[in-house]
Amino acid sequence: MAFSNEQLERYSRHIILSEVGVKGQKKLLNAKVLIIGAGGLGAPAALYLAAAGVGTIGIADADEVDLSNLQRQVIHTTPDLGKAKVQSAKETMEAINPDVTVNTYRTFVDADNIMDLIEDYDFIIDGTDNFPAKFLINDACVLKGKPFSHAGIIRFKGQLMTYVPGAGPCYRCVFKEPPPPEAVPTCKQAGVIGAMGGVIGSLQAMEAIKYIVGKGDLLTGYLLTYDALKMEFRKIKLPKIKDCAVCGETPTILKPFDYEQAECDMK
Amino acid sequence: MKLTVSGNGKEYAEGLTVSQLIVAENVETPEYVTVSVNDEFLKSGTFDKTVLKDGDSVEFLYFMGGGR
């Protein structure tokens, strides 16, 4: 596949980077990334991946755009209110970059659909807002051997880690089980500064891009935490757990399952 | 003794357990925090039996569920 003159110009700032170049840009154009959740984290991740020329981007979300979303979900605009989030996200991504094919999945991800959903993708971004979904994505990606970026945000804090099969610990190595419902505050209850999604979601896009072009060090075996009030980033080393229920030596979780926990209605 | 807690050097009295450190450091939602000492995770239920030693490095890892 040869680049058109337009593509050479569009991606010139990438192509000039020795770590990306023509070869890396071709990898991006051939890559498939699935973003689960078109919200605070998923919106900035989707914008940067589309702009970067990731050739196929899947986006999964069951909700419609709500006024309270617009404080942070920068892929949606005021005229999009009431529209399916995946449709709104698709329109914005295609407007940014016609090179990108956007697949939309207007559904909540659950144990019945996740394995099929992630099947065709090279990298998955967890932009969900509740623990059952985060554990489900972890388990499915471990079981299917798919790399993914986990992230969470609340108030003025955020954190992320990257799982690569065979290369380091999974989310369940760090957090064995979801906390009981209501034990840990959600963004709806506790609030979240809008730009936090921008910081952490952009870092998730960065991890996906580095994974695709095969350059640099990923956050495998590390949790990167960000405290905006202290303006402090910390990279905490994560050991791999031999007896992890899903990625350990003798796993007990052999297929994905849903935790019975009310979904956080964080619109 | 000197501990490194979340990257910061701190002085604490000898014999301090992880449970006592959690109280002293005002850790949020202490029932659900993951603790690592010198880059090894502690099993839950062992915090009150784990006595810290001079030079130990302790990290608290918190659940963060938001994102959408």
Residue A262: the pLDDT is 54
**Residue A55 contacts residue A101 (beta carbons within 8 Å):** yes
Instruction: Calculate mean pLDDT across residues B42-68.
Output: 94
Judged by CB atoms closer than 8 Å, whether chains meet at B67 and A234 is answered as no
Tell me, yes or no, if A174 comes closer than 8 A to chain B by beta carbon.
Answer: yes
Of residues B31, B61, B66, nearest to A192 (C-beta) = B66
CA-CA distance, B59 to A223, in Å (whole number)?
11
Segments in chain A below pLDDT 70: 261-267
In the numeric block, the tokens 């003794």 are attached to B1
Angle between helices A194-213 and A21-30 (to 10 degrees): 110
Length of chain B as a residue count: 68
Q: Which 3-state string (H, E, C) describes A110-165?
A: CCCCHHHHHHCCCEEEECCCCHHHHHHHHHHHHHHCCCEEEEEEEECEEEEEEECC
Instruction: Calculate the alpha carbon distances from A161 to A35, A150, A200, A237 in Å.
Output: 15, 5, 10, 10
Which ipTM was obtained for this model?
0.94
Chain A residues in contact with B62 by the CB 8 A cut-off are 159
Instruction: Calculate the alpha carbon distances from B13 to A69, A223, B51, B59 in Å.
Output: 48, 29, 11, 18
**Residue A157 contacts residue B64 (beta carbons within 8 Å):** yes
Chain A residues in contact with B6 by the CB 8 A cut-off are 234
* Count of CB atoms situated within 10 Å of the CB of A2: 7
Residue A264: the pLDDT is 47
Residue A266: the pLDDT is 39
Residue B9 has pLDDT above 70, yes or no: yes
Chain A residues in contact with B65 by the CB 8 A cut-off are 129-131, 134, 152, 154, 184, 186-187, 264
Chain A residues in contact with B34 by the CB 8 A cut-off are 174-175
**Residue A222 contacts residue A235 (beta carbons within 8 Å):** yes
Judged by CB atoms closer than 8 Å, whether chains meet at B41 and A159 is answered as no
**Nearest C-alpha of chain A: how many angstroms from B32?**
7
How far from chain centre, in Å, is Cα B12?
13
Please, how many CA atoms are within 13 Å of residue A126, restricted to the half-sphere of its CB? 32
Cα A245-A248-A249 angle, rounded to 5 deg: 125
Of residues B61, B62, B67, nearest to A37 (C-beta) = B67
From the number of C-beta atoms within 10 Å of its C-beta (0-12, 13-18, 19+), residue A152 rates as: buried
Residue of B nearest to A171 (CA): B63
Of residues A127, A179, A238, nearest to B68 (C-beta) = A127
Query: Which residue blocks in chain A are alpha helix, DSSP H?
Result: 5-10, 12-15, 21-30, 42-52, 85-96, 114-119, 131-144, 171-174, 187-190, 194-213
From the number of C-beta atoms within 10 Å of its C-beta (0-12, 13-18, 19+), residue A47 rates as: buried
Tell me, yes or no, if A197 comes closer than 8 A to chain B by beta carbon.
Answer: yes
